[in-house]
Amino acid sequence: MPSESREFDIVLLGATGFTGGLIADYLATNATSAVSIALAGRNPAKLEAVRARSGADLDVVTVDATDDAALRDLTSRCRVLITTVGPYLVHGDPVVAACADTGTDYLDLTGEPEFADLTYLKHHARAEATGARLIHACGFDSVPHDLGAQFTVDQLPEGVPLTVRGYVRLQGTFSGGTVASALEVMSRMRQGRATHDIRTQVEPQPDGRAVSIATGRVGRDASTGWWVIPMPTIDPLIVAQSARQLPRYGPDFTYSHFLATEGPLAAAATLGGIGTLAAVAQVAPARRALARLRPSGSGPTPAQRDKAWFTVRFVGEGGGTSVVTEVAGGDPGYTETSAMISEAALCLAVDDLPVTAGQVTTASALGPALRTRLLAAGISFTLVD
Ligand SMILES: NC(=O)c1ccc[n+]([C@@H]2O[C@H](COP(=O)([O-])OP(=O)(O)OC[C@H]3O[C@@H](n4cnc5c(N)ncnc54)[C@H](OP(=O)(O)O)[C@@H]3O)[C@@H](O)[C@H]2O)c1
């Protein structure tokens, strides 16, 4: 069935999870009645509870993410599918496959680079053929970084080599699904690197243009004065993918991505914490014990989320010009993440967008239209200097 005449504009799969519940509430409050929305998941009683709490006229569909036929039926009934069923390396592939096959736009919250590389290798060509837009990392990973880098590039001259550095500062805590997904990534670093190498060999590079990620080093950063740690998360990979897909990033684009800390002691403590987590993730029983401390469905309380915040400062240089920009908002992981992915879904369902298909990014597929929506939702994009 052509995508325009499908039963639902947006389906939210994983509506019964911690983040899924927040997304359901956001869509119930912010989507107009012209947008038809369904909540999907494997547990009808939990789905009904989410629908009742939302107070909105939402449909409910029962589907298990391990059932390929049921997933194809679901994705052929909707134009845009959001999934929060993670860890994505464990549960995600059949959902992407169903969207690619049925020409359905797909959005997720993955921060798992190996998952994005695997879906590129397995489903990008099929999605290009059916017209499906497959967009990973539509939450705090990686919307502020991806759209912030694009906003920074927009302030710089065209047609010259550009360098952009992103510096993240934040305060917040994690949900059960985030902890489980982070441990999954850390337990598979070697496989993740191998998959990325295969992708790098087969993915076409843009004609006559170069895009690279400069890792940087731990220490005091000369341009900001902050103590920084290079962050090899999914964020720089997404920014680089946008740069490959958008000629506006110029003939030679380089991106670096850092966590900014309060000083040398905080930097050392953060590095120690990451190292400990990575070591624990290598041992299956220890990994399971750690995951049990934050079970599926749990996450920060409203009071904790009210105190949480983020800023991402960008320093962009090129063609003799230098700019500083900043993206800022409230609780990065959950309150703002649910706004980001909901607005991305509404953007796909409602807005006039450039024609794209296959594995694309928030910047390359949604760009300024999503930035406008996020500004209206209270996330700021500022030219600082
Ligand atoms: N990168 C970011 O910025 C960001 C921010 C927030 C979250 N996330 C990611 O989003 C994901 C979800 O996090 P969360 O804390 O919301 O997790 P969660 O509370 O554990 O929710 C997981 C959801 O998946 C559902 N599910 C699991 N297996 C299923 C299956 N076989 N069929 C159908 N549904 C199934 C669960 O359903 P039941 O209720 O029936 O168990 C639940 O609705 C994680 O991967 C996390 O890393 C990323």
Summarize pLDDT for 342-369 with one digit per residue, the tens. Answer: 999 999 999 999 999 999 999 999 999 9
d(CA 84, CA 307): 24
Q: Is the shortest distance between the CB of 86 and ligand 1 below 6 Å?
A: yes
Atom of ligand 1 nearest to the CA of 178: 47
The residue with greater pLDDT, 4 or 326, is 326
For the stretch 230-280, pLDDT in tens is: 999 999 999 999 999 999 999 999 999 999 999 999 999 999 999 999 999
Rounded to a whole number of angstroms, the CA Rg of the chain reads 20
Sign of the four-CA dihedral 59, 11, 97, 178: negative
d(CA 145, CA 359): 18
Q: Is the shortest distance between the CB of 16 and ligand 1 below 6 Å?
A: yes
Q: Is the shortest distance between the CB of 14 and ligand 1 below 6 Å?
A: yes
The C-alpha torsion from 167 through 173 and 178 to 182, rounded to 10°, is 60
Pick from 48, 64, 147, 178 the residue to mutate for probing ligand 1's pocket: most ligand atoms within 8 Å of its CB.
178
Do residues 228 and 260 make contact, with C-beta atoms less than 8 angstroms apart?
yes
Amino acid at 207: D
- Segment 200-223 mean pLDDT: 94
pTM of the model: 0.97
For the stretch 95-104, pLDDT in tens is: 999 999 999 9
For the stretch 282-333, pLDDT in tens is: 999 999 998 899 999 999 999 999 999 999 999 999 999 999 999 999 999 9
What are the CA-CA distances from residue 369 to residues 249, 310, 345, 363 (Å)? Answer: 18, 22, 12, 9
Q: Which residues lie across from 82 on neighbouring strands? A: 12, 107
d(CA 344, CA 103): 17
CATH architecture assigned to 3-140+335-378: 3-Layer(aba) Sandwich (3.40)
* Residue having the nearest C-alpha atom to atom 47 of ligand 1: 178
For the stretch 66-100, pLDDT in tens is: 999 999 999 999 999 999 999 999 999 999 999 99
d(CA 179, CA 270): 16
Q: Is the shortest distance between the CB of 72 and ligand 1 below 6 Å?
A: no
What's residue 178's pLDDT?
93
Domain ranges of the chain: 3-140+335-378, 143-329
Atom of ligand 1 nearest to the CA of 176: 15
Q: Going by C-beta distance under 8 Å and a sequence separation of 6 or more, which residues neighbour residue 268? A: none
Nearest to 136 by CA among 88, 170, 177: 88
* Distance (Å) from CA 130 to ligand 1 centroid: 27
What's residue 202's pLDDT?
96
* Distance (Å) from CA 298 to ligand 1 centroid: 10
* Residue having the nearest C-alpha atom to atom 48 of ligand 1: 109
Q: How confident is the model at residue 3 (pLDDT cuts 50, 70, 90)?
A: confident
* Distance (Å) from CA 136 to ligand 1 centroid: 14
- Segment 200-211 mean pLDDT: 94
Q: How confident is the model at residue 1 (pLDDT cuts 50, 70, 90)?
A: low
* Residue having the nearest C-alpha atom to atom 22 of ligand 1: 17
For the stretch 158-191, pLDDT in tens is: 999 999 999 999 999 999 999 999 999 999 999 9
Q: Is the shortest distance between the CB of 21 and ligand 1 below 6 Å?
A: no
Q: Is the shortest distance between the CB of 19 and ligand 1 below 6 Å?
A: yes
Q: Which DSSP state fits 206?
A: P
Do residues 83 and 92 make contact, with C-beta atoms less than 8 angstroms apart?
yes
Q: How confident is the model at residue 4 (pLDDT cuts 50, 70, 90)?
A: confident
- Segment 125-152 mean pLDDT: 98
Burial of 188 (0-12, 13-18, 19+ CB in 10 A): middle
